Amino acid sequence: MYPENLRYTKEHEWVRVEGDVGVVGITAHAQDQLGDIVYVDLPKLGARLEQGKALGSVESVKAVSDIYAPISGEVVEVNDTLSTAPEKLNQDPHGAAWLVKIKLSAPDETKALLSADEYQSYVGAEEAGH
Amino acid sequence: MTQPVAVLKTTPLHSAHRKLGAKMVDFGGWDMPVQYSGILDEHQAVRQRVGLFDVSHMGEIEIRGHEAGAFTDSITTNAVAKLKIGQAHYSGLLYEHGGFVDDILVHKVADDHYFLCVNASNQEKDFEHIAAGNQSGATVEFASGRYAQLAIQGPRALATLGKLTTTDLAAIVYYHFVDGVVSGVPARIARTGYTGEDGFEIYIAPDQAERIWNEILGAGAEFGIKPCGLGARNTLRLEAKMALYGHEIHASITPWEADLAWIVKMDKGEFIGRAALLKQKAQGVTRKLIGFEMTGRGIGRDGYEVLLDGVPAGWVTSGGPSPTLNKNIGLCYLPCDRAKPGQRIQVLIRSQPVEAVTVATPFYKRAK
């Protein structure tokens, strides 16, 4: 379920490294927990993000949830389609519904993130705890 | 890592919800379904077709005896003496200081028998409040254990429930009820609801709940019935501007403030809270509930601050997207003189003031 080429956070974001750019999104588990997503608040182009700090927020019918930057760097592209079609996050969270692209300022940071297997078992444990 | 886990209360339909794949949440100490297919999908099902809700967590209190009517009148805001047998009304249960203990439905079963439907998380408190004030000959019974409650709501609710009963549902007027039979067992069938649609709320024996739940889903299949959770219940009631205890109303809010003067009958005689309401009216009410629509990008959520001319002036009690209107709507408290439609306000969303405007409510009203 969780693609091998992504790295994951315990806050349910993912990053896919392409050269010196990281594509960032939220996981299938995150969108499933949120339910119908109706609003996405993303940073502006050029914003400087710091790993673990708030990147933006995503809102479902029921609740609002923070998104944290999985890696540090400068925002070089924002997925504007999400402002008019936030429901895409429910449909393709690991693909077309990426959030931002970040020019990595500290590429080594990805090493501390979870692999697909590690994230899968983390989520499994979290679900079992409910 | 082990954490102490609070034991959540469950309804007789708990395993049925699990089987349907519902997402469960802790709702005031109850393990309840928040959604099955999705809040938007369930919301549209109720507005366009029919939805089925398990509301068995709601509490029931029964008041009986010769003095039951007079006693019920003395503890609630609406005029119990005006109820006819088979009629129900929305009412308030107040503290002496005029704030809400709860908002409730009062059903007149007989001259000497009144049936109260109360909020799940308030039921023990309500019972103690009512019993403590009882110096009459009436008996007050905490009856929640004897009832499961299902809500069948939407334009096809009558056609759905009609397949399972010989009771003439069309003859039940809005906010009236009959004691009839559903799926072969006794049921109190009330034409009431919390969605802004036509529909019924039925009170049945808990051991019949799962069978009847399944039979209603079967009966409504041809209309596209959906099991609906608390998520859709909330978006539906917000569009219809129905109050939710703990949000629009609570112990520090009076009916005048909550725009619920219509459930207060000051001329009916003494009742708990009346003196405080009289005093507040004489001194002047300072804040009032009003609806708003977001005009800027963002959703004003429960508890967010509301600004007037850049200055904190009130707070959001409920807010979220309206699936029917495709707008972000909400309710908030504002100073009385500004709590009128057309007032520009700002909602403080995560430290950012976002533009909104007050509007007339309800946000949604069904075509009759």
3-state secondary structure string across B322-340:
ECCCCEEEEEEEEEHHHCC
Query: What letter represents residue B296's amino acid?
Result: G
Q: Does B268 touch chain A (CB under 8 A)?
A: no
Mean pLDDT, rounded, for A26-32: 95
Nearest chain A CA: its distance from B38 CA (Å): 7
Q: What is the DSSP string of B173-239?
A: -TTBEEEEEETTEEEEEE---SSSSSEEEEEE-GGGHHHHHHHHHHHHGGGT-EEE-HHHHHHHHHH
Q: Does A38 touch chain B (CB under 8 A)?
A: yes
- Domain annotation for chain B: domains and CATH numbers: 14-56+147-239 (3.30.1360.120), 59-142 (3.30.70.1400), 286-359 (2.40.30.110)
Nearest chain A CA: its distance from B141 CA (Å): 35
ipTM of this predicted structure: 0.81
Contacts of A63 in chain B (CB under 8 A): 301
Nearest chain B CA: its distance from A125 CA (Å): 11
Q: Does B69 touch chain A (CB under 8 A)?
A: no
- Domain annotation for chain A: domains and CATH numbers: 7-105 (2.40.50.100)
Q: Does A57 touch chain B (CB under 8 A)?
A: yes
pTM (2 decimals)?
0.93
Nearest chain B CA: its distance from A8 CA (Å): 22
For the stretch B256-278, pLDDT in tens is 999 999 999 999 999 999 999 99
Residue A117: the pLDDT is 95
CA distance B155 to A59: 30
Pick among A10, A62, A87 to test the B interface (most B CBs inside 10 A): A62
For the stretch A54-101, pLDDT in tens is 999 999 998 899 999 999 999 999 999 999 999 999 999 999 999 999
Q: Tell me the pairing of strands A37-41 and B287-294.
A: unpaired
Across the A:B interface, residue pairs with CB atoms under 8 Å apart total 36
